[in-house]
Amino acid sequence: MNQSTNINIEPKQRNLMVAVMLIGAFVGLLNETLLATALPSIMQDFGIVENQVQWLTTAFLLTNGVMIPISAFLIERFTTRQLFITALSIFAIGTFIASISHTFELLLTARVVQASGSGIMLPLMMTVMLKVFPVEKRGAAMGMAGIVISFAPAIGPTLSGWLLEFFSWRGLFYVVLPIVIIAIIIAAIFVKNVTEQTYPKIDILSILLSSFGFGGLLYGFSSIGGGHGAGEVSTEIDSVALAIIIGAAIILTIFILRQLKLKKPMLEFRVFKYPIFSLSLIVTMIVLVALIGAETMLPLYMQNTRDFSALESGLMLFPGAVVMGIMSPITGMLFDKFGAKWLAVTGMLIVSLTTFLFTSLTIDTAYSFLVVIYATRMFGLSLVMMPVMTAGLNQLPPEWHPHGTAMANTMQQVSASIGTAILITVMTTAATNYQPNQTALEGLTESEAMNQIATNAAMDGYNAAFWLATILSVVGLSLSFFLKTKAKTELKY
């Protein structure tokens, strides 16, 4: 039989339902990067440094990474309507707490609560779309989802930069909260039950292993650069982080072995027996690192090193966000016609070249250069993200769609969180280890020399991080050649 939907739902009802779920997923994903341009002002308010403030992004991604594996179980246990409204409500509570946070610890807690809700919304939305759209229309449908998945994180820094001109960083949450409340009301009207309840048993051990395994791995990588201390990079902290990573890896190994033995696993690792799914997942993981990493580092570079305002920083990223939003439905239609391979190859080539151009940032790099290169980079990312993800999910039989989407989203959040943490660590380590050219400092006062050294060290850090991102992009480009064309990616069941 063709891998198509068995759901009887009128197109109008289907479209209204999908629209509501897209709004919910949009606000959830928007919050991955909404604080990007606000990080410098949060650092100032709470008296913290880069390695600490990056936890507001990392903790959000970390919690998503823990929640998403559980989402496959939740989708099979609860109705579509129950789960979506509950997830939105949890997200609303976290947003409210964030809006009244007066300490860094409370704000960090609020981000965790937010992500507990958003970590369910995205895999649920993707599972529903796979249910209600036949395979021949999934490219266009997932292209619409791509607007959310790629445009929401892309527009976050620009939106926050604009809002920070009028409000404090707390105003970012004041704006999001009413949107979420309205989405809950609309969801209660339009969201119908389309997922199947198989009522799997709650496997507490799997949930614990998943949480400690994924959570520990993300925490360990995020802490390598001193993220859980006072901003100091030391051998002791590195040793603790390494021990956490090794322990988490052991726990994850036990978790995977348990899932392979269970008749009804919480997360189906047998999806990896489909090679195109596995390959597409690796490529999209690299894309997420490229996307989130750049959106974290560039605002820091512009505001902390170049003294641009939050608005100017956000506006620099805006054309790229627009490009991503325009291209997502177009690439969906192109995927339906041509498949993922050559879209991915072209996109990763563009991403590799533009990321390389960011490895030579200076204190005098032109604003227009940043705008054009970033927008071009986002064009490349748009050619890769949804086509490759859809190609991978199309390989799976319908009964494994919840597990496929959960696995895909888990790995993407894990890679985005670890990737961002590693890039920030590379940036801070390179800056710390910077050796100044003493000859270039001759004739400067002590104050001028110190400022020059600090600036050059920061630039060295940003460029080192983008060198790592360039290497990852080239790896993604190489893997893209192994994807199949359309005729070879459609399976029949």
Q: State the CB neighbour count (10 A cutoff) for residue 220.
A: 23
* CA terminus-to-terminus distance, the chain: 5
Which backbone phi and psi does 231 adopt, to 5 degrees?
90, 10
Rg (CA), the chain: 22
* Mean pLDDT over the full length of the chain: 82
Whose tokens are 């940036």? That residue is 427
Mean pLDDT of 6-28: 80
Please say whether the beta carbons of 227 and 54 come within 8 A.
yes
Q: Is the confidence at residue 330, as pLDDT, over 80?
A: yes
- Please tell me the predicted confidence (pLDDT) of residue 215: 78
Residue-range domain boundaries for the chain: 11-489
At residue 377, the pLDDT reads 93
For residues 67 and 4, the answer to whether their CB atoms sit within 8 Å is no
Given a cut of 90, whether residue 184 has pLDDT beyond it is yes
For the question of whether the overall pTM of this predicted structure is more than 0.85, the answer is no
Lowest-pLDDT choice from 3-17, 143-157, 449-463:
3-17
pLDDT tens per residue, range 199-257: 777 788 988 898 888 778 877 876 665 444 333 334 344 688 889 889 999 999 999 99
Q: Give buried/exposed letters for 388-407 (b at 16+ CB in 10 A, else e).
A: bbbbbbbbbebebbbbbbbb
| Pairwise CA distance, residues 238 & 220, whole Å | 9
Which architecture does CATH list for 11-489?
Answer: Up-down Bundle (1.20)
pLDDT tens-digit series, residues 337-365: 888 889 999 999 999 999 999 999 999 99
Classify 214 as helix, strand or coil: helix
Please determine, for residue 165, whether its predicted confidence score (pLDDT) is greater than 60. Answer: yes
pLDDT at 372 over 90: yes
| Type of residue numbered 475 | V
Of 8-17, 174-183, 281-290, least confident by mean pLDDT is 8-17
Q: What CA–CA distance (Å, rounded) separates 144 from 384?
A: 14
Task: Name 273's Cβ contacts closer than 8 Å, sequence gap at least 6.
Answer: none
314 near 161, Cβ under 8 Å? yes
Per-residue three-class SS string for 263-296: CCCCCCHHHHHCHHHHHHHHHHHHHHHHHHHHHH
HEC readout, 32-81: HHCCHHHHHHHHHHHCCCHHHHCHHHHHHHHHHHHHHHHHHHHHHHCCHH
Distance set, CA 476 to CA 277, 298, 410, 416, 484 (Å): 15, 22, 19, 14, 15
How does DSSP classify residue 103? S
The conformation of residue 339, written as its DSSP 8-state character, comes to B
